[in-house]
Structure 1
Amino acid sequence: MQQRCPVKNSRWIKTSCFHADEFRIMRSNPRIQSIGTAVPPYRISQDKHYAILESANGLSRAERLTMRRIYSKSGISWRYSILDEFDEQDHADHEVFHPAGELVTPVADRMTLFEKHAPGLCTDAAKACLKKLPLLKRNEITHIICFSCTGMYAPGLDIQLVEVLGLQRSTERTCINFMGCYAAINALKAAYHICRSEPEAVVLIAGAELCSLHYQKSAETNQMIANALFGDGAAAAIISCRDLGNDAESLSLHTFYSEFEPAGLQDMVWRIGNAGFDLRLTPEVPEAIRANIGELTGKLLKKAAISRAEVSHYAIHPGGTRILEACEQAMDLDQDATAISREVLDSYGNMSSVTILFVLEKLMRKVAESSKPEWVMACAFGPGLTMESVIMQTAGNAKS
Structure 2
Amino acid sequence: MTVALRGLSTVVPPTVLVQPEVRDVFAAQPGLNRLAQRIITTSFDVSAIETRHTVIAELSRDAHPDDPVFFDIDSGVLLQPGTKARNELYAQQATGLYVAAGRAAIDATPGIDTADVTHIVTVSCTGFYAPGPDFMIARELGLDAGVERYHLGFMGCYASIPALRLAKQLCEADASAVVLVVSVELCTLHLRSSNDPDTIVASSLFSDGAGAAIVTAHPPEPGERALVLDRFATRITPTGEGDMAWKIGDHGFEMVLSNAVPALIDEHITGALEPLFAHDPALVDALETDAAGRAVEHWAIHPGGRSILDKVETRLVLSEAQLVPARDTLRDYGNMSSATVLFVLRHILDGDAGAGERVAAMAFGPGLTVESALMTVSG
TM-score interval, smaller chain: over 0.9
**How many Å apart are 1:85 and its aligned residue?**
2.3
Amino acid at match of 2:358: W
Q: Paired residue for 2:328?
A: 343
Query: Are 2:362 and 1:379 equivalent residues in the alignment?
Result: yes
- Pick aligned residue for 2:201 from 181, 201, 225: 225
Q: Paired residue for 2:307?
A: 322
**How many Å apart are 1:137 and its aligned residue?**
2.1
- Pick aligned residue for 2:41 from 68, 87, 92: 68
Amino acid at match of 1:72: D
8 Å CA contact 2:49–2:332 kept in 1: the answer is yes
Q: Paired residue for 1:266?
A: 242
Query: Are 2:166 and 1:183 equivalent residues in the alignment?
Result: no
- Pick aligned residue for 1:80 from 53, 64, 70: 53
The percentage of counterpart residues that share the same residue type is 35
The answer to which of 332-341 and 89-98 deviates more is 89-98
8 Å CA contact 2:109–2:214 kept in 1: the answer is no
8 Å CA contact 1:33–1:246 kept in 2: the answer is no
Query: Are 2:42 and 1:59 equivalent residues in the alignment?
Result: no
- Pick aligned residue for 1:302 from 278, 293, 299: 278
CA distance in 2, matches of 1:92, 1:331: 52
Query: Are 2:348 and 1:363 equivalent residues in the alignment?
Result: yes
CA distance in 1, matches of 2:377, 2:60: 42
TM-score computed with the length of structure 1 as normaliser? 0.88
8 Å CA contact 1:56–1:97 kept in 2: the answer is no
Q: Paired residue for 2:70?
A: 96
**How many Å apart are 1:271 and its aligned residue?**
0.5
- Pick aligned residue for 1:277 from 247, 253, 261: 253
Q: Paired residue for 2:375?
A: 392
Residues 14-163 of structure 1 mapped to structure 2, 5 A cutoff: 27=1, 29-88=2-61, 93-97=67-71, 104-163=80-139
- Pick aligned residue for 1:202 from 178, 192, 211: 178
**How many Å apart are 1:122 and its aligned residue?**
1.6
Amino acid at match of 1:393: T
The answer to which of 93-102 and 261-270 deviates more is 93-102
RMSD between aligned alpha carbons? 1.9
Do the aligned partners of residues 39 and 215 (structure 1) sit closer, same or farther apart at CA in structure 2, a change above 3 Å counting? same
Q: Paired residue for 2:286?
A: none
SS for the counterpart of 1:259 is strand
Give the greater-gyration-radius structure (CA): 1
Amino acid at match of 2:313: E
Total equivalences in the alignment? 367
8 Å CA contact 1:79–1:347 kept in 2: the answer is yes
**How many Å apart are 1:169 and its aligned residue?**
1.2
Q: Which runs of 5+ in 1 are unaligned?
A: 1-26
Do the aligned partners of residues 57 and 136 (structure 1) sit closer, same or farther apart at CA in structure 2, a change above 3 Å counting? farther
Q: Paired residue for 1:20?
A: none
Residues 40-95 of structure 1: CA deviation (Å, up to 9, x unaligned) = 11001001111111123432333212211111110100000011222359999322
CA distance in 1, matches of 2:282, 2:172: 21
Amino acid at match of 1:104: Q
Query: Could you list the runs of 4 or more consecutive aligned residues of structure 1 that deviate by over 4 angstroms after TM superposition?
Result: 88-92, 98-103
Do the aligned partners of residues 129 and 102 (structure 1) sit closer, same or farther apart at CA in structure 2, a change above 3 Å counting? closer
SS for the counterpart of 2:106 is helix
**How many Å apart are 1:247 and its aligned residue?**
5.5
**How many Å apart are 1:166 and its aligned residue?**
1.1
CA distance in 2, matches of 1:367, 1:240: 24
**How many Å apart are 1:100 and its aligned residue?**
8.3
CA distance in 1, matches of 2:39, 2:145: 51
8 Å CA contact 1:101–1:217 kept in 2: the answer is no
